[in-house]
Amino acid sequence: MTFVFQQPGTTKLLEAIDDAAADATAGGGVFAFASRGGIDAFFSRPNIARMLRRRQRFQLIVGVDAITNAEALLCLSEKVAQYNGILSANVFFHENPASTFHPKFSWFQQGSSLRLVTGSGNLTKRGLGQLAVAAGAPPGNWEAFSIQTMLDGEATSAMADINAWLAGQLEAGTLCSLDDERVRERAMANGRMRFASTTPRVRIPAQPAEALDAIEVAPVDGITFSTPEILVREIPKNRSGQADLGKTVLTEFFGYEGSEKKVFVQFVSLDNIPKPVEPILLFVNQSKNYRLELHEIAALDYDLREDDGRMILVATKLDLRSFRYTILPVTAPDYDTVAQLLGPIPPLRGRSRPMRELFMSSTELRTTWLNVPDNLLPLETFTPEP
């Protein structure tokens, strides 16, 4: 057995897992948490990628108690579709608030031998040793792990224990599919978390609020957004349940990249009640209309104000592929408060006028809209794990 300390700035765990996968005929892994960056790094390693190309089966289990967000789920779903019948993936889901699913290990079979990599690192870029968590800090986490090769009867016994555990969890109902509604809900909630430094904050008056947000808090694994995380936009009257958002919003905020792309959206009512998470496709129709299916719009009357004020969408980007949103009809009590953020109503251009839109930080929105639904916005914590 080999025991290894991983220092920040190294990728020893990722390399050890890939080395263990050399010439393997089957394998698997169980990780408490996963991120898109960790999943991409894992499956791009040469030996693991070679396993899948050779149609050697790999089984992956990830937990969703923290960190694992919608972006990770959708990334993993795409990997499973890419390696259909070869790669299988499940989510460990439980409802015990006093316990956390926390194992991290992987195994690889080759003939009568079994290679185990067991340690503290999760299937995230930080856990695998690939990411700077703050400016000037070394990349990755401090982790420790062991590498063990078992032979013959010892290997058979260990593999039997792993299979028995997997079978038991399937029977208990804790191993769920990636598209399980409860899993989507938990992943969406994980996407709300922003991780802050414990260092005392010093506000610099010359900096705008959105710059302070970027310095103080960040989503998991150093995700960066091309716009601030809050969108405020008027919605023109379209087919029921559609929001015509324009090219800038659909591409820069929602992440449309020229081809169909699945994202998760979740409506939060003005009285702070989240509805179920909906998977939807980002796409542009043949008429080049940059619209989004937001089904809760259909439940509201589309009224205009005398000054031509329109229904307003307020959306939060939780990660690169999950979004929460609410709708303010012109009759909503806080409509004027939110509409004032958008500035004056522009004049008509022919028969229509441009829809007003604004990107802003959650800090700015909280400051301006005192009654903003709490469930619409990110949460801040000082630790990335429970």
Span of 286-290, 308-312, 326-330 with lowest mean pLDDT: 286-290
pLDDT at res. 258: 85
The answer to whether residue 203 scores a pLDDT higher than 80 is: no
Structure tokens belonging to residue 338: 């939110």
Span of 54-68, 201-215, 368-382 with lowest mean pLDDT: 201-215
pLDDT at res. 303: 86
CA distance 350 to 129: 56
pLDDT at res. 383: 72
How much is the CA Rg of the chain, to the nearest whole Å? 23
Q: pLDDT class for 132, splitting at 50, 70, 90?
A: low
The answer to whether residue 386 scores a pLDDT higher than 80 is: no
Span of 21-35, 52-66, 201-215 with lowest mean pLDDT: 201-215
pLDDT tens profile 228-275? 999 999 998 876 667 788 888 999 999 998 888 899 999 999 999 999
pLDDT at res. 295: 85
Neighbours of 302 (CB within 10 A): 15
CA distance 294 to 287: 19
pLDDT tens profile 86-118? 999 999 999 999 999 999 999 999 999 999 999
> pLDDT > 90: what percent of the chain?
68
Amino acid at 69: N
What's the Cα-to-Cα distance from 333 to each of 3, 328, 330, rounded to whole Å? 62, 9, 8
pLDDT tens profile 350-376? 778 889 999 999 999 999 999 999 999
pLDDT at res. 284: 79
What's the Cα-to-Cα distance from 177 to each of 50, 77, 184, 262, rounded to whole Å? 25, 10, 10, 17
Q: pLDDT class for 22, splitting at 50, 70, 90?
A: very high
The answer to whether residue 206 scores a pLDDT higher than 50 is: no
pLDDT at res. 222: 65
264: closest CA among 300, 327, 328, 318? Answer: 318
The answer to whether residue 209 scores a pLDDT higher than 50 is: no
